[in-house]
Chains A and B, each alone.
Chain A
Amino acid sequence: MDINKLHPVSEFEWHIEPTGDMHVPGVIFAGKDLIAEMDDKVYEQVCNVARLPGIIDASYAMPDAHWGYGFPIGGVAAFDPDEGGIVSAGGVGFDISCGVRTLHTGLTPEQVLHQQQHLADVLYEHIPAGLGSTGIYRLNKKQMDQMLLGGAKWAVEQRLGDYKDLHHIEEQGCMQGARPEYISDHAKERQKHEMGTLGSGNHYLEVQKVVEIYDADIAAAFGIKLNDIKISIHCGSRGLGHQIGTEFLKQMVTRAADYGIRLPDRELACAPLDSDLGRRYLGAMRGAINCALANREIITHLTRQAMSKVFPAIELDLLYDVSHNTCKLEPHTIKGVTKNIFVHRKGATRAFGPGHPALPDTYKHCGQPVLIGGTMGTASYILAGASKSMQMAFGSACHGAGRSMSRRRATKLWQGKQVTQELADKGIVIRSPSMRGVAEEAPGAYKNVSKVVNAAEQAGLAKRVAKLKPMICIKG
């Protein structure tokens, strides 16, 4: 991206002045080097989002922003229901509520090293991963609707999870306002066999070691110590979310003109919040959020079963569960006035600051845990929402490294076996149903996650707490 088109506010905050039919400015949080690496399409997409009706404050891009569908991936935008605001299926994305959760294990690195290959095999055996895999739990029509209404809470009630987990999940594990009747039979059919499956692409389960602590007080509150072993799970709402995204995107594209909305890009397809289509999408999307929460809870259940086969006395407590692709109704104070607004986070994490009422008591004084997924070969980070972030991008931060090259280019540069061997040499054990999938996800195909996280901290979006390196990666 040409940095000369941006107006610097600080070293890590750059503005695009509104021109033409942009209602608000664009704001990009990143250092010069990350901006230089960003595709020009990110600039175009940030500007296009600023053209949508009812947008509040600014169209934001996080440090890991890259070319997405309508919205940039790493885009944040909020809309006012009283000012003709909209909800956008493209602004949430296909993988609704894709997210990360991290579990404490109480293990030491030595315990893992001693059984690393065996542990990788047991986890790979227990967690269905990749295209064509199916979950152990099949849902009938009634169970499907209950799952869509109940989320992780439903999974716990089915004895596929632990009650204690719910306090450490956004929305306490159950998104209110889900309307299963607005979700098509096709979407439900696609999900019937997919509960408790990891999916593919950039989705994973990792056993990780804490290698660095940046903030000892917050780390202690989060239950993180140097050399701790954690497990992180990255996946979303599976086929159900994808189908809802597909169907509502089409409906919003074809109905936009009826609502008097001129779309700068068809992928920005949206509907007024105060419309039948807007309400139906919100109800369906909230069901998909519950599906993602239930899915991660069930995968956690399977992980507990797997881990207990290798370490019989083990207990896995949930540190936190964050979602990346959502639109949520939240109260925010803008220019001294508190309003309920609809915040879209597309490839961005909620990062509420200290004292926020949505946080569990254990974390209230230090801010929300923000779980940033890295690549198989680099590192993941745990951050905490900063007080300042509430005034910056509606309490949001980055979500991951973000790709720096296409899958196609990655397969030309690397082969799966070679990537697996190179990672093995670094002490990282990979299990995956597809070697080509591993090549496409090669660590070199991603941006430098450390730079992304540094930029988020320097911009004031979130505070670095700990760095984790992978020891085992189950790749979908």
Chain B
Amino acid sequence: MITPYWEHFEHEADIGVRGYGNTPAQAFEQAALAMMAIIVDLSLIQNREVIELHCSDNDPDVLLTDWLNSLVYQIATRKMLFAQFDVRIKNGRLSARAWGEAIEIERHQPAVEIKGATFTELAVKQTDDHWLAQCVVDV
């Protein structure tokens, strides 16, 4: 068992997100946190609201981009930021809850907006004792 965590990795023009967890769902949660951390310091986000998200694809790689892109859509249309996720994945169907709050530009100082999660360096795989979920996001 590992303690789930996330990190960024280098891409010349943009930035890569990588989540680690004991299950694909945990790795997806961490990858989402990594993506939010591109935009904002996560410690500035309070859990005032919760939203539900659903997506599905039989290819775990494509499911990861779908998951991150559905979040990008929620950020853009609800003008919200998120800092906590609960992801469930079963038979290629993902359902999730995301906690966060409305963007306040002065307080959150969002650095960039995410255009979308890409298929570059995209991978969802099991290595040794944990799962990894990663891709490059276009900012």
Could you tell me how many residues of chain B have their Cβ less than 8 Å away from some Cβ of chain A? 39
Q: What 5 A-B pairs come out closest when comparing CB atoms?
A: A132-B103, A436-B111, A131-B110, A131-B113, A242-B115
Quick check: is B96 within 8 A (CB to CB) of the other chain? Answer: no
Q: Which residues of B contact A180 (CB under 8 A)?
A: none
Among A27-35, A162-170, A243-251, A287-295, the stretch in contact with B: A243-251
Quick check: is B12 within 8 A (CB to CB) of the other chain? Answer: yes
Known: A130-B105, A246-B69. A39 touches B12 (CB 8 A): yes
> Are B15 and A433 in contact (CB-based, < 8 A)?
no
How far, in Å, is B116 (CB) from chain A's closest CB?
Answer: 4
Quick check: is A374 within 8 A (CB to CB) of the other chain? Answer: no
Quick check: is B26 within 8 A (CB to CB) of the other chain? Answer: no
Quick check: is B30 within 8 A (CB to CB) of the other chain? Answer: no
> Are A245 and B116 in contact (CB-based, < 8 A)?
yes
Which of B8, B10, B79, B112 is most buried by chain A, counting CB atoms within 10 A of its CB? B112
CA distance A283 to B112 in the complex (A): 29
How far, in Å, is B55 (CB) from chain A's closest CB?
Answer: 11
How far, in Å, is A284 (CB) from chain B's closest CB?
Answer: 15
Q: Which residues of B contact A68 (CB under 8 A)?
A: 13
Q: Which residues of B contact A200 (CB under 8 A)?
A: 110-113, 139
> Are A66 and B116 in contact (CB-based, < 8 A)?
no
Q: Can you list 30 A-B contacts (CB < 8 A)?
A: A66-B12, A73-B13, A90-B119, A94-B115, A95-B115, A132-B103, A132-B104, A132-B105, A132-B110, A190-B73, A190-B76, A190-B77, A199-B113, A200-B111, A201-B112, A242-B115, A246-B69, A246-B72, A246-B117, A250-B66, A254-B59, A269-B119, A403-B12, A406-B13, A407-B14, A407-B15, A407-B139, A409-B10, A433-B109, A437-B112
Q: Please name the residue on chain B nearest to A243 by beta carbon.
A: B73
Known: A243-B73, A246-B116, A254-B62. 16 other contacts (CB 8 A): A67-B12, A73-B13, A94-B138, A131-B75, A131-B110, A132-B110, A189-B77, A200-B139, A201-B139, A246-B72, A253-B62, A406-B12, A406-B13, A407-B112, A434-B109, A434-B111
Quick check: is A420 within 8 A (CB to CB) of the other chain? Answer: no
- Contact flags B106-135 to A (C-beta < 8 A → 1, else 0): 001111110111111010000000000000
> Are A267 and B139 in contact (CB-based, < 8 A)?
no
CA distance A132 to B79 in the complex (A): 6
Q: Which residues of B contact A265 (CB under 8 A)?
A: 119
Residues on A facing B (Cβ under 8 Å) = 39, 41, 66-70, 73, 90, 93-95, 130-134, 186, 189-190, 199-201, 239, 242-243, 245-246, 249-250, 253-254, 265-267, 269, 402-409, 433-437, 440
Q: Which of B66-93 contact A (CB under 8 A)?
A: 66, 69, 72-73, 75-77, 79
How far, in Å, is A407 (CB) from chain B's closest CB?
Answer: 5
> Are A267 and B119 in contact (CB-based, < 8 A)?
yes
Which of B8, B15, B115 is most buried by chain A, counting CB atoms within 10 A of its CB? B115
Q: Please name the residue on chain B nearest to A93 by beta carbon.
A: B138
Q: Which residues of B contact A407 (CB under 8 A)?
A: 14-15, 38, 112, 139
CA distance A440 to B110 in the complex (A): 12
> Are A242 and B119 in contact (CB-based, < 8 A)?
no
Q: Which residues of B contact A70 (CB under 8 A)?
A: 119-120
Which of A69, A199, A436 contacts B120 (CB under 8 A)? A69
Q: Which residues of B contact A90 (CB under 8 A)?
A: 119
> Are B139 and A242 in contact (CB-based, < 8 A)?
no
Known: A201-B139, A433-B109. A131 touches B13 (CB 8 A): no
Quick check: is B136 within 8 A (CB to CB) of the other chain? Answer: yes
CA distance A250 to B117 in the complex (A): 11
Q: Please name the residue on chain B nearest to A433 by beta carbon.
A: B105
Q: Which residues of A contact B65 (CB under 8 A)?
A: 250
Q: Which residues of B contact A41 (CB under 8 A)?
A: 12
Q: Please name the residue on chain A nearest to B117 by beta carbon.
A: A246
> Are B13 and A403 in contact (CB-based, < 8 A)?
yes
Q: Please name the residue on chain B nearest to A186 by beta carbon.
A: B73
Q: Which residues of A contact B54 (CB under 8 A)?
A: none
Q: Please name the residue on chain A nearest to B13 by beta carbon.
A: A403
> Are B8 and A408 in contact (CB-based, < 8 A)?
yes
Q: Which residues of B contact A132 (CB under 8 A)?
A: 79, 103-105, 108, 110
Q: Which residues of A contact B110 (CB under 8 A)?
A: 130-132, 200, 433-434, 437
> Are A67 and B109 in contact (CB-based, < 8 A)?
no
Q: Which residues of A contact B122 (CB under 8 A)?
A: 266
Q: Which of B1-47 contact A (CB under 8 A)?
A: 8, 10-15, 38-39
How far, in Å, is A68 (CB) from chain B's closest CB?
Answer: 7
Known: A94-B138, A250-B62, A433-B110. A69 touches B119 (CB 8 A): yes
CA distance A408 to B8 in the complex (A): 8
Q: Which residues of B contact A269 (CB under 8 A)?
A: 119
Q: Please name the residue on chain B nearest to A407 by beta carbon.
A: B15
How far, in Å, is A36 (CB) from chain B's closest CB?
Answer: 15
> Are B113 and A201 in contact (CB-based, < 8 A)?
yes
How far, in Å, is B93 (CB) from chain A's closest CB?
Answer: 17
CA distance A281 to B133 in the complex (A): 29
